[in-house]
Structure formats: C-alpha cells, structure tokens
Structure 1
Amino acid sequence: MDLAKIEEGKKQFETTPVSAKLLSSLRKSARLVATHYSTQIEGNRLTMEEVTQVVDKNIGGLPGRERDEKEVRNYYLALEYVDANYTKILTEKILQTIHGLVLYGKKKPTLYRDGQNVIKDGFSNAIVYMPPEASDVSMMMQDLIVWINDKLQEEKIPVPIIAALAHYQFATIHPYYDGNGRTARLLTNYILHHGGYGLKGIYSLEEYYAKHIHGYYDALAVEDIPNYYMGREQADLTDFLEYFTKGMAIAFTNIIENSKKQNPVISNDNSKLLRELSAKQRMSLGLFLQQKEITTNDLAIHLGVSKRSAAILIKKWLGSDFLIIGNSSKKARTYLLHHKWEKLI
C-alpha cells in the first residue's frame, strides 16, 4: 500500500509555507473539483465550467439540467458542512445531516431507508448486489460510527485505513435509497479531516475515483459477493485498501506540486504565523480576504456555526489579539483583523 507516500506527502505539506490567500483559493477550487467529480460518478452531466457557474456564480437555468444543478449545489453545501464540523466527534446526527444536504440541500438529518434496496447493473439492469435488510441498518450504522470513533481515538490503525474501511462499510450497508455513494465519499472526507489528513481541505479524492471509475467499482465489489448475508462482511478488502491509499498518495503528491508552483516564494515569517492559528482562525482569514470588517453574523455564516458560537469565538479572539473592534456601536458592532495578522491576507 501507499501509506509511506501519504505520510511523506502530509509531512511535506505541513512544512510548505502557504499564504492565506492561496489557501483560500485552493480550498475553493478543491470543493468545486470534488463537487464536479463526485456528482459525475452518479451520472451528473454538468461540465466543470458549468459546475463553477452554478455553485460559484449561482447561475442556473440550463435547459433540462435542473436536477443536475440541484445535485451540485447540494454536494457543495455538504462539503462546506464537513469543513465546518469535522473537528467534532462523528455522530449519527452529523452523518444523517450530511446525507440531508446531499439529497435535499437542507441541514436536516434524514432517516435510514425503511425497505429493501438493490444495486443494479446500469446496462443489463440485473441485480449485482443486495444490501442488508432495513431492520438491520440502524444497528449496523450505530456500530460503524462507534467503530470509527474508537479507532480514531485509539490511534493504532492509520487514519487512511480507517477512512477506507468506513467508506467500504457505508457503501456495503447502503443505508439510504439514494445518495449513498456521495455520502460515503463525504464521510471519508470527514474522517480524514478529523484525523489530521485533510491538508486544510485543498485536495480532492473524488477526482481520482471519477478518473479511475472502473477500478473504484471493481474494488468496492470485492469478489462479486451479490448479497450482504453471503459473507460480504468477511470479504478480503486488500484491493479496495490499495485502490484507496493509491488515490490518496496521488492526490497528496499533486497538491504539493501545485502549491509550490502557485506559491514559489513565501516568507518563513508568514509560515510561522499561520502555524500559530487554530483551524477556525485560518478558515476565518478567507472571510477577511473578502471584506475588511466583519460582524458576528458574517463569521457564523462563513464557519457554518450558530451566531452564539460565533460570538463566543469572537470574544476569545479579542482576548488573544487575533481580532480588534472596528465599530464599537452595540447595534452595528464590527471587527477587524489585528494588525499582527494583516500580512497573511
């Protein structure tokens, strides 16, 4: 497997200075790429340019593509939700909310399927896999989430392996009638980010899956076991683990090369400053790239948190000299970035 290459890529990225402005740009690009390729896997017909128009510029109205437009908007929203919440311990509610965003574009948890679903061959329409019965799904999903959290806490199994196994098991359980593939890939992102392999959200595994789609499905098929109860839970997952880790290694290598090309000269002082910031502080720099002064509501929307949580963060950041008060009026209070951090944007 490519675990050594993944670790080397992670190490190189962590020691490569990246400006906040470039980081914000790369993160946005990665979300658009991930949205395009993950929805493309499911049959979405929009091009990369059209995805950018729909998501970034909010331009729609493509004749006969309303469903495609909705899919990419929803997936992008789900990616933003993952980026804003991955520091939290994974819960059933979080996972169900990810699916709710994927399918409906609403931050509302969706219940698991209440009946049998099947996976069919797109050409012959023959059943290629029958997931577990609906009555078993809830317990299986609870067990999966407990397993993920336990393994992440134990730190005995490499995080990429945990993510790969979680991806496989989610796809195996197939807890929903629709949206399983997209949710499985977002679950993978959540785990990798939570476990320290997010590279600040600037890479996309979805592109690798889409460009090697036959390998993706072949690896998930594991020995062509057509029914969950026929031994799929004991299947040999070597092929899928190798496929998954190879994709991560390629993505990590590419992002290092791209970062260096786009960011050839960055002062070491800026690099040191960035490492002093928390994940949420680094995320908030993207907001200051767009506007000089911010409000509590601006920060809440940008980070995907409640207004109360944003107010708590602002109070903390004022005390640590990350922010200063701009307009002191209670009704129109705004905040500025402390001069110490202005060089980062």
Structure 2
Amino acid sequence: MKLPVPAPQVSEMLMSHHDQLSKILSANLGPEVNGVYEHWDKLRHRTPPAGLTPEEWWLAIRFRRSGMAKRLPLVDSAQKHFVLSLTDSMQRRLHFIDREAAGAIKGMDASGSQGRFLIRSLIEEAMTSSQLEGAATTRAVAKEMLSTGRPPRDQSERMIYNNYVAMNMIRERGVRPITPEEVLELHSILTDGTLEAASDCGRFRTAEDNVVIYDRGSPPTLLHIPPPASQVSDRLAKLCAFVNDGAGEPFIHPVVRAIVLHFQIGYDHPFVDGNGRTARALFYWAMMNAGYWLTEYLSISSVLKKSPAKYMRAYLYTESDGQDVSYFVAQQLEALEESIQALHAYIAKKNQEDRAARRVLRSAKVGEVVLNHRQRALLVNALKDPDRVYTVASHQAAHTITYPTALNDLNVLVGAGLLLKQRIGKANEFLVVPGLGKKLAL
C-alpha cells in the first residue's frame, strides 16, 4: 500500500495564500466533497471549484473542519491531541444507527428466529474478523466447526474459535466498564494458541518486541510506528476512562466513542499481535455498553473485509492530516450503516424463504419425495435453527418411534438433498444443508 501524500500544513498555506484569504473564505465551501470526508491525497487530483486552485480549495475545507473540530482527551505519539469534526453526513449516519441499532428490527421475531440470526452473526463476525488478520478458512468449514462444537484443527480455525468465544463472553457478561485488566483478559482469549510465543497472550508489548507496522507488499512499506512500549499501560488506562465516561465533556456520541476506542487500539498497538481482533471486539463491547443491542446481530468485519485497503487508509489519513480521527469515524459509520442494511436484507430474504418453504411443506411433498409429518416437523425446526445437529436417537425420542423408523426418516431427507450425513465416532450426525429455505421454496 502506498502512503498517502501528507496534507499541506495550514500554517504554511496561510503564509503563501494570505492575499487570497478573502476569496477563499467567501467561497463558503463545506468540510466534505459530495458527502465524502476527502483527504488531500485524493482531493489534489480533483477539479477544484471555479476560481480556486487545489491548494486554495483544500485551505477552504480545512478552515471549515477546524471551526467545527473538538479536541479529544487522547494523544498521538508526540502528545498531540486527536481532533474530531462531525459533519452533516456523519450526523445523518449516527441518526440512522440510533434509530436502527437501539430499537426493534422489523421481522426479527416473525418466526421466532432471534437465536438463529444471533448464531449466524456471531459465526460471521468471528470468521471475518479473523480473516482480516490472515486466517484462511472457508465459511462452510467455520460454520461446521462452531455449530457442531468440534475442536479447531489448525491456527486459522483456532483464531475463529477464539473470536467466537470472546464475542459470546462480551454478550453474556452484559454492561460493565471496560478496564485494562479485562482488555488483557480479552486479548488472552482472542490469541490463545494462535501466536508464535504463548507468553505473548494477554500481555503488553515491551521495547524488546520492537513492534512496527508494515504492509504485505513487495517490498514492504513502513506504515506506522506505534507509541513507545513504556507508554502503553498509561495510554490504555486513559483510553478506558474515555470510553467509559459517557457523561464527560466535551460530549462525544457513544457510537463515536466506540469507534475511537477501535481506532486507538489499532494506533497504539498495545500487543505483539492480535491488536485488530482486540480492537474490533472492544468496539462491540462499547456499543453493547451504550445500549445498542442490535450490535450483537451485526458483522462489521464482513463489511471491512470487502475493502481492507479502505479500512487501513482511514488510519493513514488520520495520521497524515493533523491527527484528524474524522477520517476513521467516517469510514466506520459507513461500514456500520452498510452492516445494518445487510441485516435488514438478510432478515427479509430469510423470512420470505421460510414462508415459501412452509407452503411447500404443507403439501407434504418436496419434488418427488413424499414427506411424513415427522419429517415435515424436523424441516420446520431446521428452518428456525439451521445450525442444529440431528441424530437418529434425537429424532427417535422426539416422536417416540423405533430406531429403524427414525433412521429411515433421516435417510430419506438425506436422499432428497435436505440433510447432510457425517460420521462422528461410531454414530451418524445429520446436518441441515446450506440454504435449506431457498431449496425448499424452489
């Protein structure tokens, strides 16, 4: 990844453009360009408004941003405060998140499917957050591992399993302050069995670790040097105080606080490895603490994984333009909105598939296969809980039937392509095929 061209220093531009200030200010330009919080690296290639040079255009934008900026109680490596300028487009996204992530989702309980959507989101977030850090496992394998409870078989699976355990822990423990001790515990859970040295789990980096951030190109590019290791403990304590202090001054929207927490963990890099996974998990924790209950149904990492370069650039833009964290906030708000819209679309699609599948099941026939009432009941249950595992014994007990009858029921569903059979030890387990609702609705 190429480093962005640093933004021109405002003080230097004022000296070289002082005779044009009246023209620049009278242009009355906003802090964004067509709703985008542009960085100089992109803006310098665009056509400026009539009568302005690119430098004058940038100076007009920086004037507007500076006038609305808030200084955060968090600093960079040189002890310079990060600043935040919330624009109209960011405020609109915050309003959308306030409305959608703290209230009821239409269709969520249409078929008693909250648990189904929760499991799906936990698996998706665990998988994609790990894939952002290099895990190489398919969705099908990750889902099979987490839904059946089998132990992970390699480092990639271990990363996903750890993420899943950590996300469940955050959800189950409920609202509580974020402390440095619990951040260390979270990091230990997330990195257990995935680092080169087991002793690196749940501890801060030291000067001997010499942690610096390179991209994966050839040759690699130095992207970021975190603050000195000697500052890590104190910086994390101040960060926890910031994110827990919802009533503090200046007022910072709780969603923005959660995003800044995410940013600062990535910037400070308090650990030898696993910083990205820890940052994203802490973001979920802060959102849940602030009452955004829908967060547990979202997978932010799924959105970030589609454009990891955009995610990284948001960090680099902040560092190369006066520590303006607005770049990162804008990118994360966009990802949050996209994630919520994706959940809406998923729920609507699954409810439509379920309704169509139930109409088919009422006819007692799927394709050329005639289903009895027991098989139809199992499939209805499978639509609600697609991650459930069935056995001959469980089907036998549910309907008080003989073993051969239960085995025949399940084998017929396997033959119809509605269940998958796998051998575990001395017994067979039957899994729901992916996309059962769509398959039944055809």
Per the TM superposition, whether the score is higher than 0.5 is yes
Deviations 1:259-278 (A, max 9, x none): 34444799xxxxxxxxxxxx
Q: Could you say which residue in structure 1 is the equivalent of 2:360?
A: none
The secondary structure found in structure 1 opposite 2:292 is: coil
Among candidates 152, 156, 173, match of residue 68 of structure 1: 156
Q: How does 1:1-345 map to 2 (within 5 A)?
A: 1=90, 2-10=93-101, 13=104, 18=109, 21-59=112-150, 66-104=154-192, 110-115=202-207, 116-123=210-217, 124-151=219-246, 156-199=251-294, 201-223=296-318, 225=320, 235-263=323-351
TM-score norm. by structure 1 comes to 0.67
Gaps of 5+ in 2: 1-89, 356-384, 390-442
- Cα pair distance change 1:254/1:155, threshold 3 Å: farther
State the AA in 1 paired with 2:118.
Answer: R
C-alpha separation in 2, matches of 1:146 and 1:61: 36
Larger deviation, residues 210-219 vs 90-99:
90-99
State the AA in 2 paired with 1:120.
Answer: Y
More strand by share: 2
Identity of aligned residues (%): 21
C-alpha separation in 2, matches of 1:240 and 1:26: 28
C-alpha separation in 2, matches of 1:155 and 1:16: 38
Deviations 1:197-237 (A, max 9, x none): 13161111110111121110100122555xxxxxx8x5112
Give the drift of 1:140. Answer: 0.2
State the AA in 2 paired with 1:130.
Answer: I
The secondary structure found in structure 2 opposite 1:45 is: coil
CA RMSD of aligned residues (A): 3.0
The secondary structure found in structure 1 opposite 2:113 is: helix
- Cα pair distance change 1:150/1:163, threshold 3 Å: same
The secondary structure found in structure 2 opposite 1:35 is: helix
Q: Is the 8 A contact 1:159 1:195 kept in 2?
A: yes
State the AA in 1 paired with 2:206.
Answer: D
Larger deviation, residues 85-94 vs 187-196:
85-94
- Cα pair distance change 1:190/1:88, threshold 3 Å: same
C-alpha separation in 2, matches of 1:190 and 1:11: 14
- Cα pair distance change 1:178/1:20, threshold 3 Å: farther
C-alpha separation in 2, matches of 1:79 and 1:245: 21
Q: Is the 8 A contact 1:166 1:188 kept in 2?
A: yes
TM-score norm. by structure 2 comes to 0.53
C-alpha separation in 1, matches of 2:319 and 2:242: 25
C-alpha separation in 2, matches of 1:155 and 1:252: 28
Bigger Rg, which one? 2
Gaps of 5+ in 1: 226-231, 267-285, 291-345
State the AA in 2 paired with 1:205.
Answer: I
Larger deviation, residues 256-265 vs 97-106:
256-265
Q: Is the 8 A contact 2:255 2:287 kept in 1?
A: yes
The secondary structure found in structure 2 opposite 1:128 is: strand
Runs of 4+ in 1 over 4 A off after TM superposition: 14-17, 59-62, 152-155, 263-266
More helix by share: 1
Q: Is the 8 A contact 2:263 2:315 kept in 1?
A: yes
